[in-house]
Structure 1
Amino acid sequence: MSPVSGLFPLLLGAIVSPFGCSAHSGRSHRLHYFFTGVSEPGGGLPHFSIVGYLDDEQFVRYDSETRRDLPRSSWIRKMEEHDAQYWDWQTQLSRSWELYFRVSLWTRFNHSRGHHTWQWMHGCEVSADGRKGGLSQFGYDGRDFLSLDKETLTWTASNPKAQVTKRKWEADRVWTQGRKTFLEEDCIDWLHKYLNYGKETLLRKESPVVKVTRKAGYGDLETLLCRAHGFYPKEIDITWRMEGNVMEQETRRGGIAPNADGTYHTWLSIEVDTKDRDLYRCHVEHDSLPEPLDAAWEEAGVLWPLVAGISGAVAVVILLGVILVLYLSK
């Protein structure tokens, strides 16, 4: 579930797996929920909302205006085929969380007048080798507030205001143990179940299209730019290499961003000496590639032979047409 932009630093794109990749598909998979509650709704922002993400795809949303869990992806609708009551009991669960935010967070916490925001992110992930991880973190007014330490069943307070809530939650072992149980058991079970329903979309592989271009700089320097686009899954390892050596310190990188069709694109550049241009390779490793791909800058081929060939063919056609017209006119 997605936090409101600019209010809580735990954005979906900032979630970094501590593992390399799920045992389900040879890479990591994540199931995360984002809860957002505001004291003064307005400007299109509901009083309360929940959004669910499997990997980077939003699949469900609930808010205080619709008061229903609504599907946000095609594959999640398959749940109805196996459980006709799925959306009803999910909605009841979401309504319970909405009540919790209103009663336990808003009424029991001293707020100053004005606009305030509570946010909660919790979820789990599974690595390629089967290791499991999970987190539960709260934010208040755009700042970290409390985070769960599953091993010690304690809450880490990020600011003095959180100390009272920290002591209250640590005294409530049922509440804290419930968060741990969800992260380590229920969440993992749902992650695998959802992956089975969405495997055609979420477990697909699409290869990157890679192209290297150049831009003249000052003196003997120029910039090589490597673009990779149209790839899925999101994870990709792309580096500049010179004679096999990784040139990480000299590399500038763009983020990995989504395309409209659900694939991703990214870029990286490096400034080089013109005379060394041919020594550089853009090295790409991705799950869709049977082996790493090395791309170099290539000068565009000369088009004149092709143009001349086309022109010659057109001339022949025209000549044959003239001969045919003259023959028929006789």
Structure 2
Amino acid sequence: MALRFWLAGVAFLLLVEPGRAFPSGTKGPPALGSSSHSVHYFSTAMSEPNQGFTKYIAVGYVDSQLFNHYDSITRRVQPRAPWMEKMVEEEDPEYWERNTEVEQDNEHRFRRNLAILKDRYNHSGGFHSLQRMYGCELRVDGSKRLYRQEAYDGRDFIALDTETLTWTAAIPKAQITKEKWEKDPAIAQRWKAYLEGECLEELQRFLDYGRESLLRREPPVGKVTRMFLSEGREMLVCQAHGFYPKEIEATWRKGGEIMEQDTFRRSVAPNSDGTYHAWLSIEINPKDRDLYRCHIDHAGLTEPLVLAWEAPSGHVGAIVGIVLGVLVALLLMAAGIAFFRRRQQEKAKY
């Protein structure tokens, strides 16, 4: 399970869960039209060339919404969602202070552990990072997913198997860490107890207080466009935008048959307003164009959207013709004025 960690700026662009979404621009099955919810925490320590200290940053997300932030400059855990401040005020006034102390301790631990790994890899300079990702997910069917894993320089290093309470070394150099941690079973036990206890409890509290934004339903708006490729080939592109939550199911169908093997899709990506957009395309023979439909299903829809490519209406063509006619008239008028002025100037010279 590859970790998709950010290195600079700690940007979590589309909250892509490991192993749950396809990389941008790949073929694969559509996302499920469910609405699971999750809490994700990301911590990163970064050492940079010619810098005298290691930077540290930690963030927390509920689904795709950032709710807290800590860095080595402010050295404080700070709210990033309005509903979070309300929850702390009403239920847990010590939340920020308590978690600030935790992250300050984590900052020291990460710096020390990053130094250990740099020494193990014989890395004396350059840019290096140690990252941790952990959290819990509650799926729509009631099942849960727990995880805790780490990466060095952006590559998988070690992960906890929460079922067997053992550690999986992704690379040979992680074997030393695996053996050390498995000598102390309490490490894995504490993590599992937190993930299946406090983490899931926090998730429920977050959803209760952030209900207005986290549990909202915004249906997708869809359209189909056409692109010429070559003689006898064209591409139909189905676009869905402005939807929330992120999960959406979209397929191309020909005569009712799902054409998954021929579909090229991009991962669901976030918009600046907190909604999402997605698109999928298919290469076809223009003669079969009328047989293709794009099916979109989402929690915000009462029934699936079924879209086909539609030629521009006559009204659009008429409007375009009028606009072009006006532009031509203006150009002719400008040319006439320029000619008249030039003639007047020539007369003045004589």
- Partner Cα separation in structure 2 for residue 274 and residue 173 of structure 1: 63
Are residue 90 (structure 1) and residue 92 (structure 2) matched? no
Are residue 250 (structure 1) and residue 262 (structure 2) matched? yes
Are residue 70 (structure 1) and residue 69 (structure 2) matched? no
Alpha-carbon offset, residue 109 of structure 1: 7.1
- Partner Cα separation in structure 2 for residue 149 and residue 166 of structure 1: 12
Pick one of 171, 192, 195 that aligns with 1:159.
171
Aligned to 2:193: 181
Calculate percent identity across the aligned residue pairs.
48
- 1:231-270 → structure 2 map (5 Å cutoff): 231-270=243-282
- Partner Cα separation in structure 2 for residue 103 and residue 268 of structure 1: 45
Q: 1:41 to 1:20 in 2, by over 3 A?
A: farther
Aligned to 2:284: 272
Pick one of 138, 143, 147 that aligns with 1:135.
147
SS in 2 for 1:217: strand
Note if contact 2:137-2:146 (Cα within 8 Å) is conserved in structure 1: yes
- Partner Cα separation in structure 2 for residue 69 and residue 132 of structure 1: 27
Alpha-carbon offset, residue 59 of structure 1: 1.1
Aligned to 2:238: 226
- 1:1-330 → structure 2 map (5 Å cutoff): 3-5=5-7, 12-17=15-20, 27-40=35-48, 47-82=55-90, 83-103=92-112, 106=115, 110-111=119-120, 112-114=123-125, 115-303=127-315
- Partner Cα separation in structure 1 for residue 244 and residue 67 of structure 2: 18
Count of paired positions: 301
How much is the aligned-residue C-alpha RMSD, in angstroms? 2.8
SS in 2 for 1:268: strand
SS in 2 for 1:182: helix
Note if contact 1:7-1:143 (Cα within 8 Å) is conserved in structure 2: no
Name the aligned partner's letter for residue 119 of structure 1.
Answer: Q
SS in 1 for 2:172: coil
- Partner Cα separation in structure 1 for residue 279 and residue 142 of structure 2: 31
Gaps of 5+ in 1: 311-330
- The alignment's TM-score, normalised by the length of structure 2, stands at 0.78
Between 118-127 and 168-177, the greater mean CA deviation after superposition: 168-177
Q: 1:41 to 1:119 in 2, by over 3 A?
A: farther
- The alignment's TM-score, normalised by the length of structure 1, stands at 0.83
SS in 2 for 1:110: helix
CA deviations on 1:247-305 (whole Å, 9 max, x unpaired) are: 11111112211111111111111122222111110100100111111001112211289
Alpha-carbon offset, residue 216 of structure 1: 2.5
- Partner Cα separation in structure 1 for residue 223 and residue 136 of structure 2: 36
SS in 2 for 1:161: helix
SS in 1 for 2:86: helix
Note if contact 1:32-1:124 (Cα within 8 Å) is conserved in structure 2: yes
SS in 1 for 2:42: strand
Name the aligned partner's letter for residue 64 of structure 1.
Answer: S
- Partner Cα separation in structure 2 for residue 145 and residue 54 of structure 1: 25
- Partner Cα separation in structure 2 for residue 15 and residue 159 of structure 1: 18
Gaps of 5+ in 2: 22-30, 323-350
Note if contact 1:20-1:127 (Cα within 8 Å) is conserved in structure 2: no
